Structure 1
Amino acid sequence: MSKLLLNLRMVPEDEADDVRGFLDDHRIEYYEIEPSRWGISFGGIWVKHDADIPQAKRLMAEYQARRRDAAREAHDAARRDGTAETFGDIARREPLRVALTALAIVVLLGLMALLPYYLMRR
C-alpha cells in the first residue's frame, strides 16, 4: 500500500526536487500527485511499496536534518552580517500591513477584556 512521504503544501521546488533525487538515487519507486486546480489538494510524493517505506522515511529524516542545519547556519550568518530581516525591515516595507495587524490585536484584546464584564452583566 502506498504511503505519503511528502505533502507538497508550501514546499519549495528545490526541496521537492531533492526528495525526488534521493528517491531515484536509492531506487525507491514513488509517484507524485499534482496539486488540484482549485487548491483543495496540494499534491504529494508517495512511496509505492511497503518494503521501501522505512528506508524512505530514514532518508527523509536525514535530508530534513541536513536542510534544517543549513538553514540555521544561513540565518546565523545573516544575523552576524546584519542582513537578516528584522521587524523594522518589515515595518518599513509594509507599514499598512503592520499597522492593521497591530490594530487588530488591540481590538481583539479589548474585546477579550470586555467579554467577562458583558457576561457578568447578563
Structure 2
Amino acid sequence: MPHHLMNLRHVPDDEADEIRDLFDANNVAYYETPPSRWGISMGGFWVHDDDEAERARALLDDYQRQRFDRHRREYEDRMARGEVGGIWQMFLRHPLRTLAACVAIVVIIGFSLMPFLGIG
C-alpha cells in the first residue's frame, strides 16, 4: 500500500528540490505526484514499501528539523541586523506605504462596523 510522505501543496520549489536530492542521495525508492492546478489534489512524495516509508520519514524529519534550524538562525540574524521588525520598523523604512495601509485598515473596519453602529 502506498505511504504518503509529504504534501506538496504550498511547498517552495527549493524545499522540494532539496528533498528530491535527499531521497536520491539515500537511494529512497519514491515517486512524486504534482499538486493539481485547481487545488483538488495535494500531490506529494510517496513510497510503496513499509520499511522504505519508515526510513524516508526519518530522513524527512531530520531534514525538516535542519531546515527549520537554518531558517530560524537566518531570521534571528536579520533581527539582530534590524532588517526584520514590527510595525515601527516598517514605518521607519516605508512611512507612506505603512500609513496608507493603516488608513485602509481603519476604513475597512469602519465600513464593516457601520451597519452595527447605525442601529442604535
Band of TM-score, shorter chain: 0.7 to 0.9
What are the ranges of 5 or more consecutive residues in structure 1 without an aligned counterpart?
115-122
Instruction: Determine whether 1:71 maps to 2:76.
Output: no
Tell me which residue corresponds to 1:8.
8
Partner SS for 2:10? coil
Equivalent residues in 2 for 1:77-88, closer than 5 Å: 77-88=77-88
User: How much has 1:99 moved relative to structure 2?
Assistant: 4.6
More off after superposition, 53-62 vs 39-48: 39-48
RMSD of the TM alignment (CA)?
Answer: 2.8
- Specify whether residues 35 and 97 from structure 1 end up closer, same or farther in structure 2 by C-alpha distance, changes over 3 A only: farther
In the alignment, the residues of structure 2 paired with residue 26 and residue 65 of structure 1 have an alpha-carbon distance, to the nearest angstrom, of 17
Aligned pairs for 1:25-40 (under 5 A) are: 25-40=25-40
Residues of 2 paired with 1:15 and 1:3: CA distance? Answer: 20
Matched, 1:53 2:34: no
What is the CA-CA distance between 1:48 and the residue it aligns to? 2.5
TM-score by length of 2: 0.74
Seq. identity, %: 35
SS at match of 1:59: helix
The alignment covers a number of residue pairs equal to 112
Q: Tell me the alpha carbon deviations over residues 6-60 of structure 1, each in whole angstroms, 9 at most, x when there is no partner.
A: 1112111111111111111111111111121212223211123222011111111
Amino acid at match of 2:47: V
Quote the residue 1:17 is aligned against: 17
Q: Give ranges in structure 2 of 5+ residues lacking alignment.
A: none
Match for 1:27: what amino acid? N
The secondary structure found in structure 2 opposite 1:31 is: strand
Q: Which moved more, 1:14-23 or 1:82-91?
A: 82-91
